[in-house]
Amino acid sequence: MFLFTLFMVPSCRVLIDNLQAALDAQFDSQARTASHSYVKYNNWNTVKSRIYHIITLNPDLVSRSVIGKTYEGRPMYLLKLGKNGANKKAIFMDCGFHAREWISPAFCQWFVKEAVETYGKDSVMTTLLDKLDFYVLPVVNIDGYVYTWTNDRMWRKTRSKNAGTTCIGTDPNRNFDAGWCTLGASDYPCSSTYCGSAPESEKETKALADFIREHLSTIKAYLTIHSYSQLLLFPYSYTYNFISHLMCSYSFPVKLCLISSPTDPAAGGSDDWAYDQGIKYSFTFELRDTGRYGFLLPESQIKPTCEETFLAVKYIANYVLEHLY
């Protein structure tokens, strides 16, 4: 099976010439168990039971709420990490906007594990959880994620029906009310970057946006985890009128960054929207790799990817904490 992958504009080159081999190669972890493992990819049911497990083991650090339901009716679980305290500010982080970006939910799970395991041992993490709360949405687009396990590994969008066509789904990261559908998004329902019939037409994006709107006085940073490219992006992506992307060498904590104008403008993204709500620290992470495996990142890269990203998130969180007022 051969696939010619278009990579950015204007030039094209083949990155993965044998998709089936890459599909097989992603499962290269030694941990071939049916149960949950942080160094392999886990399906939604396994993620869900791990969430429950971690709350049971750490009731003083982790709690769970449901912020809405997906199009197919799955509850959207939001985790809250942090010690009880009055008037705490918070950092919001989500994973799994785009269904096929499996490394993203893997990172949110890793983050929760690492946070609870290092609390009381690592002084920075202890201070962070004492003084801040982390809201972690482990998978935004659960329906899409489930579909990548059951039907189509390369699925990206939600699974909602569109009027007047058999084409399914909206790109949830083109569905926010931030320059909606003006740049780098499509109004054609069959497109993989379909912006939806209106901003927040998707139940998943509406639930996320509602939660952030309701907690605007406490949320001081918004982090959204995608793949792939190994970039850290900050607003705006919906206009060329601002200095936009922060392109960083992938050695976190962030040291070597070059500011550039957007190479891939995209309107309706959650980071731009959160920034427009007044959340000053709003970043999109594009995790590994740079195209060798793309969305089919082998499981053997989960640990190093999560370790370096964990450092970056910790670094940003600590910066936010030190610059709260």
H or E element at residue 138: none
**In 3-state terms, the chain is what percent helix, strand and coil (to 5)?**
30, 20, 50
Least Å distance between CB 9 and Zn ion? 18
Measure the CA–CA gap between 117 and 120, rounded to whole angstroms: 8
Contact at 8 Å (CB) between 125 and 115? Answer: yes
Interface stretch with Zn ion, choices 20-28, 180-188, 220-228, 241-249 (CB under 5 A): 220-228
Least Å distance between CB 224 and Zn ion? 8
Q: How many residues make contact with Zn ion (CB under 5 A)?
A: 2
Q: Catalytic pick from 101, 202, 204, 286?
A: 286
Strand order in the sheet with 62-69: 62-69, 75-81, 132-137, 89-95, 219-227, 281-287, 231-233, 245-248, 257-260
Catalytic residue at 308?
no
Q: Is 98 in the site for Zn ion (CB under 5 A)?
A: yes
Interface stretch with Zn ion, choices 69-77, 189-197, 222-230, 287-295 (CB under 5 A): 222-230
Beta carbon nearer to Zn ion, 98 or 288: 98
Least Å distance between CB 96 and Zn ion? 9
Q: Is 157 in the site for Zn ion (CB under 5 A)?
A: no
Interface stretch with Zn ion, choices 7-15, 24-32, 112-120, 225-233 (CB under 5 A): 225-233
Burial 135-148 (b: 16+ CB within 10 A, else e): bbbbbbbbbbbbbb
Q: Which of 226, 245, 288, 314 binds Zn ion (CB under 5 A)?
A: 226
Cα–Cα separations (whole angstroms), residue 249 to 222, 235, 308: 21, 18, 12
Catalytic residues: 286
**Which residues contact Zn ion (rule: CB under 5 A)?**
98, 226
